[in-house]
Amino acid sequence: MDWSPEVTERNPGDSAQRPVCIVGGGVIGLAIGWRLARKGAAVEVFDLSTAGRGASWAAAGMLAPLSEVGFEDEGFLSLGRESLRLYPQFLEELKEDAGVEVRLDTQGTLIIGLDRDDAERLRRLCEFREHLGLPVKWLSGTEAREIEPLVSPRTSSAIWIPDDHQVDNRALVEALKTALRKCGGTLHENRPVEAVLNEEGRVNGVKTEEGEIGAACVVIAAGCWSKQIGGIPKELLPPVRPVKGQIITLRQDKLYSLPHVIRAPDAYLVPKGDGRIILGASEEEMGFDTTITAGAVYRLLERGWWAVPSIYDLEIQEIVAGLRPGSRDHDPIVGKTTIEGLYYATGHYRHGILLTPATAFEVSDLILEGRSSGVFAPFGPTRFLPAGESAVGW
């Protein structure tokens, strides 16, 4: 393959100087595109509408592998921690290329309980994390209020997780767009990819309304829409569905100070450096519907208010609904498919902002050097193939 950033040939039949085509300009597609472009590859990223305005825009930006790990979820924990470890380097290099700083907020996370049942549940969660050797601390309600005086006086107990961080996901998306372009990549907005093209069993381009574009390889990073791309055999499409999340932005005034991420039963509050507090989020199986509903908003406000009563007086700045790309097992789908030249980077569900650096490093290394770090080994595209069909192609 020739990785010249000069894209001179648009005929899918000719293999010379074709770019990597990325379908989807959310945080995942943009980050992969930027990493490839910064290494001199020719890159073309396509988005259905304005890039970065899908789930990546709606997200709260928590980078929380320790808070999120479930009892059967240790594979996710290693991946999430690795991605969080990569974040400082990722943001440093992004700053070099984009010329803007996206700050990693390391104030830490407090998971609070509000009654006796919550305390019992949190105790089990805390013991599990201690058993895994994770840096967490059990707190009484009083100790929790010493760390974060704005949490409810009803707070019965808490887990303090200093190593779960957060980032401004909207600033991240904008910086990635700038860095991609400055490194020589091309971003085509309002240009949906209709289908992946192939010749003799390998991917060689994409089809859009404006025509066909030749590609050395294609990455599907179209979030919850990844299953809708044409040209891929049905049984090989990534099993991804939309999981709706409604989320509210509150605005804190100058006198109000909530520095830490607060996670409470059925709600979380994520304060951003610019005065926004993100209160989220519902989790609904509603297909591609993004209607804002009274019930979800009522419930979020109520649960947020139970956790931090003083939000009562804050202005509501925005309410949006985003669609998380949920895979069948809720884990990401990242890596080489059984079709030559076709890669998947999708299914990041609730953790796409957290998993952006790991995904971008992995997919760019796979494409440019054929090298895998191994962190995505349990999360490859072939795990969903029916037994005995691991070599299925065109």
Ligand X SMILES: Cc1cc2nc3c(=O)[nH]c(=O)nc-3n(C[C@H](O)[C@H](O)[C@H](O)COP(=O)(O)OP(=O)(O)OC[C@H]3O[C@@H](n4cnc5c(N)ncnc54)[C@H](O)[C@@H]3O)c2cc1C
Contact residues toward ligand X (CB under 6 A) are 23-29, 46-49, 51, 53-56, 58-62, 192-193, 221-223, 225, 229, 245, 247, 280-281, 322, 324-325, 346, 348-354
Distance of closest approach, residue 135 Cβ to ligand X, in angstroms: 20
The pair phi, psi for residue 328, each rounded to 5°, is -60, -40
Helix (H) or strand (E) holding 94: helix 74-98
> Between residues 15 and 290, which has the closer beta carbon with respect to ligand X?
290
Shortest Cβ 248–ligand X spacing (Å): 10
Task: Indicate the length of the chain as a whole number.
Answer: 394
Burial of 47 (0-12, 13-18, 19+ CB in 10 A): buried
* 15 close to 205: Cβ distance less than 8 angstroms: no
Least gap, CB of 236 to ligand X (angstroms): 16
Least Å distance, CB 142 to ligand X, is: 28
Cβ pair 358, 86 in contact under 8 A: yes
**Interatomic CA distance for residues 83 and 66, integer angstroms:** 12
Q: Which is nearer to ligand X, 79 or 136 (CB)?
A: 79
Of residues 120, 140, 143, 123, the one with CA closest to residue 131: 123
Residue 114 or 354: which CB sits closer to ligand X? 354
d(CA 68, CA 96): 31
Judged by CB, which is closer to ligand X: 129, or 272? 272
193, amino acid identity: V
Residue 207 CB, nearest approach to ligand X (Å): 10
* 62/91 with CB nearer ligand X: 62
CB 155 within 8 A of CB 306: no
CB of 388 to ligand X, least distance (A): 30
Which is it for strands 157-161 and 276-280: parallel, antiparallel or unpaired?
unpaired
Phi and psi at 298, nearest 5°, equal -55, -45
What would the two tokens of residue 340 be? 């030559």
Rounded to whole angstroms, the Cα distance separating 250 from 248 reads: 6
Q: Which is nearer to ligand X, 46 or 160 (CB)?
A: 46
C-alpha span between 111 and 150 (Å, rounded): 13
Query: Which residue, 156 or 237, is less far from ligand X as judged by CB?
Result: 237
- Closest separation in Å from C-beta 21 to ligand X: 10
